[in-house]
Amino acid sequence: MNEQKRSNNRALWISVLICAGVALLISAGVTLGLQIPGFLARRPRPTPEIVGLSVEEAEGVVEPYRFVILPVGENPSDLEEGVILSQDPEPAEPICPGAIIRVVLSTGRPMIEVPQLAGFELVHATELLQAAGLFVSDVVSKYDTLAEDLVIGTDPEAGTAVEKGSKVTLFVSLGPELVEVPKVTGRKLSTARKTIEEQGFVVGAITYRVTGEYYQGTVMKQTPKAGEMAPKGSQIDLVVAGVLR
Ordered by where they begin, the domains of the chain are: 47-106 (3.30.10.20), 111-173 (3.30.10.20), 178-241 (3.30.10.20)
Higher pLDDT: 160 or 39? It is 160
Higher pLDDT: 126 or 29? It is 126
pLDDT band of 30, cuts 50, 70, 90: very low
**What residues contact 218, with CB distance under 8 A and at least 6 apart?**
186, 187, 188, 189, 240, 241
Enumerate the β-bridge partners of residue 75: 106
Cβ atoms of 153 and 171 within 8 Å: the answer is: yes
Predicted confidence (pLDDT) at residue 10 exceeds the cutoff of 70 = no
Q: What is the pTM of this model?
A: 0.52
pLDDT of 142 reads: 92
If you average pLDDT over residues 29-39, what whole number do you get? 46
| Chain segment 62-72, per-residue pLDDT in tens | 999 899 999 99
| Chain segment 223-232, per-residue pLDDT in tens | 999 999 998 8
In order, the DSSP letters of the chain are -HHHHHHHHHHHHHHHHHHHHHHHHHHHHHHHHHHHHHHHHHS-EEPPP-TTSBHHHHHHHHGGGT-EEEEEEEE--SSPTTBEEEEESPTT-EE-TT-EEEEEEE--SPEEEPP--TTSBHHHHHHHHHHTT-EEEEEEEE--SSPTTBEEEEESPTT-EEETT-EEEEEEE--SPEEEPPP-TTSBHHHHHHHHHHTT-EEEEEEEE--SSS-TTBEEEEESPTT-EEETT-EEEEEEES---
pLDDT band of 141, cuts 50, 70, 90: very high
**What residues contact 96, with CB distance under 8 A and at least 6 apart?**
42, 43, 44, 45
- Give me the amino acid identity at 181: V
Measured between alpha carbons, how far is 76 from 80 in angstroms, rounded to an integer? 9
If you average pLDDT over residues 120-138, what whole number do you get? 95
Measured between alpha carbons, how far is 164 from 184 in angstroms, rounded to an integer? 55
